[in-house]
Structure 1
Amino acid sequence: MSVRSLFDLTGRSALITGGSKGIGKTLARAFAECGANVCITARNEDELKSATEEIAQGLGSRVIYRVCDMADRAAVDAMAIDVLQEFQGIDILINNAGTNRPELLAETNDTTWDEVLELNFTACMRLARHVVPDMKEKQWGRIIHLSSVMALASNPGRGLYSGTKAALIGMAKAHALELGPHGITVNCICPGPIATDLPMSLLNEEQKQRFAERTALKRWGKTIDMVGPALLLGSDAGAYITGTTILADGGLTCRTFD
């Protein structure tokens, strides 16, 4: 097998949540460029339509979208069943959708807790549960959860976000052991500071600069920086990598203290 063929995803199908913008959209284009048929999901149909057209431009791969609120269990189940039927199976699942609602412990309310837990963690499990039977039948599958560097270190007010992202890492390890005998790998990617809409809207300019300065590379990451880890874990190139977490944080966690 040639090195090039290790990354060839021709004939594979991928489901990428949160795919209308940011990391999800960039990954969708990358997987489509490698030959996979791709379905992206998000809540905003206008954004999905635009992203689908942009991702598919100039490629032979099939790119479709499905509107889905990942915090709605019935919607998640219906979407998964629909895409499985449309593609006759899903080979690669990338759980990228997520949200961050900073609240101090004393201010955390049950509604926020339930919504973030549902979106960031429970929906990931539900989608994995849907795609695994087909993966087992094929004896090939790739499940990738987008966790976060905030799963390994945190800040005040980020207990809910960090908790859900850390939970993905623990779940991936257990599922890797369970599914490994069936040719299915399960891994996490922990992005560091990536310049997407979510952190850019939450942080002020001083905070943004502080994040950049704490990385070894002295900059915020770009969405394209996540393509290498994702393609490695989502293809035959990563066939012997499972139950692990790839840190793509620009060296943020190298530092001990100043």
Structure 2
Amino acid sequence: MATSLFDLTGRVALITGGSKGLGKAMARAFAQAGADVIISSRHPAELEAALPEILHGTHRKGCWIAADLSVREDMQRLADEALATFGRIDILVNNAGSNIPEPIEDLQDVNWDRLMELNLTSCMVLSRAVAPAMKERGWGRIIHISSVMGMTSKAGRTTYSATKAALIGMTRAMALDLGPSGVTVNCIAPGPFLTDLPLSVLSPADRQNFSDRTALGRWGDPQEVAGPALLLASDAGSYITGSTLLVDGGVLCKSL
């Protein structure tokens, strides 16, 4: 019975930012649990390379769709193409996101606007596109990838923290909209995971500081978000909705 609770056979999952890092790890977990998967990012070459690795040994189907989710037209195109390819989306993971550290006095409008579109608006647009069919079928899972930075922050993260905190609020409201139809909406708030994003914006000293801030004393491996995602995407998490699941290695419990 425990195994069947996590079985995704017959489901179709769309994972944005699915070509690497947390997105790739979640897509792989879903495929291993029986789901067909659609992955998306801005980079066709990365998607093409990632998909066989995600599907390896699973006998599942999959495809990739290149889209820039900071562009409103690409958001809708991704939803339309994904639905057209498999005819349904049962699980949506809004994982695509970025960070441009800037102190508030130097914050540029173009960066604020881009991150708002990518980190927040794309999650709304894709959720809006897949929700009607999920409601009609009486089953669906929407998972937004927020961040521990939506609950705490550090200097220079005004835009990033704003978008990630907004996702937590949007999750609660969407859960109320969709819950009566059997659709759950949840957040995962990762802490420090060693992916391309932190490696691109943090100095070695910053990376050590983040490691020191965790209760476990280390960064997370992307594989360690796969289990929480599978919980929320499957029948194992059927009575969890409107919630934010911290996967942070104990960052928030270590305040001093």
Question: What corresponds to 1:8 in structure 2?
Answer: 7
Question: What corresponds to 1:117 in structure 2?
Answer: 116
Q: Which deviations, in whole Å up to 9, do the C-alpha atoms of 1:153-192 show, x marking residues without a partner?
A: 0011101000000000000000101110000000000000
CA shift for structure 1 position 85? 1.7
Distance 1:56 1:248 in 2: 25
Distance 1:239 1:133 in 2: 19
CA shift for structure 1 position 79? 1.4
- 1:184-199 to 2 correspondence within 5 Å? 184-199=183-198
Q: Specify the SS of the correspondent of 1:145.
A: strand
Q: Which deviations, in whole Å up to 9, do the C-alpha atoms of 1:37-66 show, x marking residues without a partner?
A: 000000110000000111111221111100
Distance 2:106 2:233 in 1: 39
CA shift for structure 1 position 256? 2.3
Question: What corresponds to 1:106 in structure 2?
Answer: 105
AA aligned opposite 1:119: L
Distance 1:214 1:42 in 2: 30
Distance 2:179 2:72 in 1: 27
Distance 1:185 1:123 in 2: 18
Question: What corresponds to 1:223 in structure 2?
Answer: 222
How big is the alpha-carbon RMSD for the aligned residues of Structure 1 and Structure 2? 0.7
Q: Which deviations, in whole Å up to 9, do the C-alpha atoms of 1:106-133 show, x marking residues without a partner?
A: 1111111110000000000000000001
Question: What corresponds to 2:38 in structure 1?
Answer: 39
Q: Specify the SS of the correspondent of 2:65.
A: strand
Question: What corresponds to 1:254 in structure 2?
Answer: 253
Say whether 1:239 aligns with 2:238.
yes
Question: What corresponds to 2:173 in structure 1?
Answer: 174
AA aligned opposite 2:217: K
Question: What corresponds to 1:213 in structure 2?
Answer: 212
- Give unpaired runs (5+ residues) of structure 1: none
Q: Which deviations, in whole Å up to 9, do the C-alpha atoms of 1:84-107 show, x marking residues without a partner?
A: 121111000000000000111111
AA aligned opposite 1:75: D
Q: Specify the SS of the correspondent of 1:160.
A: helix
AA aligned opposite 1:207: D
Q: Specify the SS of the correspondent of 2:252.
A: helix
CA shift for structure 1 position 215? 0.7
- 1:1-80 to 2 correspondence within 5 Å? 2-80=1-79
Q: Specify the SS of the correspondent of 2:240.
A: coil
- Give unpaired runs (5+ residues) of structure 2: none
AA aligned opposite 1:162: S
Distance 2:255 2:120 in 1: 29
Question: What corresponds to 1:161 in structure 2?
Answer: 160
AA aligned opposite 1:179: L
Question: What corresponds to 2:137 in structure 1?
Answer: 138
The runs of 4+ residues in structure 1 deviating greater than 6 Å are none
TM-score using structure 1 length: 0.98
CA shift for structure 1 position 207? 1.2
Q: Which deviations, in whole Å up to 9, do the C-alpha atoms of 1:205-249 show, x marking residues without a partner?
A: 111111111111100000011011100000000000000000000
Distance 2:34 2:28 in 1: 10
Q: Specify the SS of the correspondent of 1:253.
A: coil
Q: Specify the SS of the correspondent of 1:254.
A: coil
Distance 1:197 1:86 in 2: 29
Distance 1:219 1:90 in 2: 35
